[in-house]
Structure 1
Amino acid sequence: MGTFDRYLTGQLLTYFGFFSLVLVAVYWVNRAIGLFDSLIAGGATVLTFLEFTALALPNVIFAVLPVSALVAILYGLNRLSADSEMVVAQTAGLGPWRLARPVLIFGFVVAIMVSVLGHVLVPASRTALAERGAELSRDVTARFLKEGEFLHPGTGVTVYVRDITEAGELLGLFLQDRRGDATRTSYTAERALLVRADTGTRLVMFNGMAQTLDVTDRSLVTVQFDDFAYDLAGLTGGDTTRLRDPRELPTIALLRADAEARAVTGASRAKLLSEGNLRFSEAVFAAALPLMALGFLMLGGYSRLGLWRQIMAAVVAAIVLKMLSNVAESIARDDATLWWVIHLPALATAGLGAVLVWYSSLGARAFRGAPA
């Protein structure tokens, strides 16, 4: 690698790291607000929130890296052109394809990062996130053992415990169940215990009262009891089995799309094949975006306003190609024989970049700000 290649590649990677950090932070904060509300309202701790956000980061980074690569190449080359560094490079005899070499190296590095995330880190993090979520939903003890606060461990369920003894006995329990459309039931008990069984967790209440309100005729039925067992299976998910998300499976299993993979995910063969091929096409798309951006920046004549028209053209082209990628993904999900359609937008991005660079090499100099 020559001196110019190392210099330009290093500059692009620096900008890429900066914009990736900014975009990941913005994306993460946007998602973390909703996650924080849902977890804390359910009685989870701040450590649990941090654990969930850490597991969600690989998926966020996977979505952000192609955008960061595009922004980095547009900002970096525009800045080098404004500082006349590209003029010096052109004067030294560096043609369009010579300028494209460090850009291709940069795109290759980005593609490696996207591939590692898509094939390894994102599936592993999604599996860990799903398993941790299922474990948290079953851990009703942590949700109930919080005294002096109204908790909402499930949709339509409110729990309040006045005091908790050292033995784990709940004193002054209030439980309201609003999950039914026709009835609303409120339970009060002097004390209660959480009992784990093979079939699930039960809340055993002693010396209490149940008040059931019929929403239709507004009638109220009151029942006093010495002891009563409330089944929490419906609240926390009694069925411990779950269908895995196709994005959790290894790439080989997705491309194979056999009966076992379809059984554990409940997805069709077309959906599995599309997900497996999408991981490859995303890497190609991320590698092709810098080359396409370089091709657009080489178009047009000199302007005192800079390269903003070429930058806008590159951004619009990237948006259109990404929309075409979404359309191709939808087509591939419906027909297993059309899995190859997913690769067309990424290949079109690379082809467009190559054509633009080739056009600039026909005699029209790149970055027309260079002196004649």
Structure 2
Amino acid sequence: MTRLDRYIFRQLSVALLAVTIGLAALVWLTQSLRFIELVLDRGLSFMVFIELTGLLLPSFFAVILPITTFVVTLFVYVRLAADRELVVMRAAGLSQWRLARPALALAGLAALLCYGLNLWLVPSSQAAFRAWQYEIRNQLAAILVQEGVFSSVGDDLTVYARYRDPDGTLRGILIHDARERGAPVTILAEAGRITPGPNGPRVTLENGERQQVERVPPPAGAPPGTPATTRLSVLSFSENSVDLARTSRGATAEADRYRNAQERTIDELLHPDPADHVPDRDLRRFRAEAHQRLASPLNAIGFGLVALATALTGQFRRHGGGLRLFTGIMVVVGLLAIGLMTGNLAARQNVMIPLIWVNALVPGLVSAWVIGGMPGLPHLRRPRRPAAGPA
């Protein structure tokens, strides 16, 4: 790498690092606001919130890197053109591809980094994030039960305590348990304590009653069409215990949690375990996700070539060239929109998967053709003006 290459590459790499970190921090801040409730409503520490949302950063970087590669390449080369540095470099004998070499090296490094994120770091971080989120929402009932708050443990278990004594005893407890389909249970108790159990946290209740709505089928010999009736069963108790761990629908442990496409490796996406009983709709989504992970890092190279085609083939002055700059930005915005559309289409119909690769490869190939002077395209020459004859 020559001194000029190092000069341009240093500007590109420093700008890419700064812009990528800044944009990732902004996206992380906006996305992490969705999890503020874990701190405010469920009593988690701020460090747990930081560690939990920090697991989302690898996926942010994988999406942001191709975009920031385009932005940084376009900005640096347009500035070099506006400062006449590119004019001096061309006068020194550097061709278009020699000028583009530092940006191509940076785009290649960004693509390799995206492959490392997509193939290894993003699936592992997403799996850790989902497992931790599942545990917080469905298993850590001991920290979810807050005084004066209706705390939801999953979608079908609600716990309320009027207040909590300094020794941890809960007073004025209400539990609504709808984990058994068709037979919801409501429990009222004067006091209770949360204790560990073999399947997770349990609450031991004192002096209360258990109310359950049961569906009673029609008696034998009843005329056809007789509807079933419901019956309220009330049972008073001096001591009772309720398992607060999420056990409905067979989800007794984190191992039974269904993993989505973002948590699976490429091999698991293309060859899922038959024991998982993945439905056909998810199989199509898994295949599209696998090809999306393999193709999306190439956008870093493609977007970098689009930026080079915009900056190296136009004349940029300090107060000019805005139309070409705007065109290059709109091309990338359109490519991002097309990428989202093709990803959704491929997830529904796998025959559309080749469109993912077309969207990743064609912009770079077209941009390389433009940088090379558009060979094969007839160039129009301006007609010469006839020389003026003697007066």
TM-score, normalization by structure 1 = 0.81
Deviates more, 1:55-64 or 1:228-237: 228-237
Name 1:191's counterpart in structure 2. 192
Residues 9, 102 of structure 1: 8 Å contact kept: yes
Residues 204, 229 of structure 1: 8 Å contact kept: yes
Higher helix content, 1 or 2: 1
Residues 246, 265 of structure 1: 8 Å contact kept: no
Gaps spanning 5+ residues in structure 1: where? 214-219, 365-372
Change (3 A) 1:52 1:18: same
Deviates more, 1:201-210 or 1:288-297: 201-210
Change (3 A) 1:177 1:10: same
The one-letter code matched in structure 2 to 1:276 is A
> How far is 1:203 from its partner?
2.3
Name 1:174's counterpart in structure 2. 173
In the alignment, structure 1 residue 307 sits paired with structure 2 residue 321: yes
Q: Deviation per CA, 1:224-258, whole angstroms, max 9, x where unpaired? A: 5423444435588861312211222222333xx23
Name 2:223's counterpart in structure 1. none
Q: Which residues in structure 2 correspond to 1:183-222 (within 5 Å)?
A: 187-194=188-195, 196-198=197-199, 201-208=201-208
| Partner residue of 1:263 out of 276, 299, 303 | 276
Q: Which residues in structure 2 correspond to 1:53-202 (within 5 Å)?
A: 53-136=53-136, 137-144=138-145, 150=149, 152-154=151-153, 157-160=158-161, 162-164=163-165, 170-175=169-174, 177=176, 187-194=188-195, 196-198=197-199, 201-202=201-202
The one-letter code matched in structure 1 to 2:61 is I
Residues 306, 367 of structure 2: 8 Å contact kept: yes
Name 1:243's counterpart in structure 2. 258
Structure 2 distance, partners of 1:143, 1:10, is: 50
Structure 2 distance, partners of 1:337, 1:211, is: 54
Deviates more, 1:72-81 or 1:229-238: 229-238
Higher Rg of the two aligned structures:
2
Identity of aligned residues (%): 23
Structure 1 distance, partners of 2:276, 2:117, is: 25
Structure 2 distance, partners of 1:304, 1:233, is: 65
Deviates more, 1:187-196 or 1:117-126: 187-196
Deviates more, 1:327-336 or 1:242-251: 327-336
Tell me how many residue pairs correspond in the alignment.
Answer: 351
Q: Which residues in structure 2 correspond to 1:347-358 (within 5 Å)?
A: 347-358=361-372
Q: Deviation per CA, 1:76-107, whole angstroms, max 9, x where unpaired? A: 11222222222221221222122121111111
Name 1:217's counterpart in structure 2. none
> How far is 1:325 from its partner?
1.9
Name 1:370's counterpart in structure 2. none
Q: Deviation per CA, 1:310-352, whole angstroms, max 9, x where unpaired? A: 2211111111112222232233323445433311011111112
TM-score, normalization by structure 2 = 0.78
Change (3 A) 1:114 1:50: same
Structure 2 distance, partners of 1:204, 1:306, is: 75
Structural RMSD (CA): 3.4
